[in-house]
Amino acid sequence: MLKYSIFRLGLFVVVMLILVLVGMDPIWAAVGAALISMVTSFFVLAGPREEAARKIEARVEENRLRKARKLDDERTDEEAEDQDYR
């Protein structure tokens, strides 16, 4: 995730510097850089974005399983028996 964010930030900075050096007003250069880097990163950084998404998905699944195990451990015997009869 950090790698993808650094790549996106770097792409934004490079595009903004190019636009400022070309003579664009810094505010408009920032807006243009944001738009250009957004579109470019969608295509150029597809690999790192997918890697970050897989890591986030794995982390979310791990947290979900941990919470489910914790809830199962906290259930009383009576609750477990009631659940079995349903």
Q: What is the mean pLDDT of residues 15-21?
A: 97
CA angle 56, 58, 61 (to 5 degrees): 110
The owner of tokens 């794995």 is: 58
Q: Which residues contact 45 (CB under 8 A, 6 or more apart)?
A: 4, 7, 8, 11
User: Is residue 82 predicted with pLDDT exceeding 70?
Assistant: no
Query: With pLDDT > 90 as the criterion, what percentage of the chain qualifies?
Result: 58
Backbone phi and psi for residue 37, each to the nearest 5 degrees, phi listed first? -70, -30
Whole-prediction pTM: 0.64
Write the pLDDT tens digit of every residue in 33-70: 999 999 999 999 899 889 989 999 999 999 999 988 88
| CA 48 to the chain's CA centroid | 10
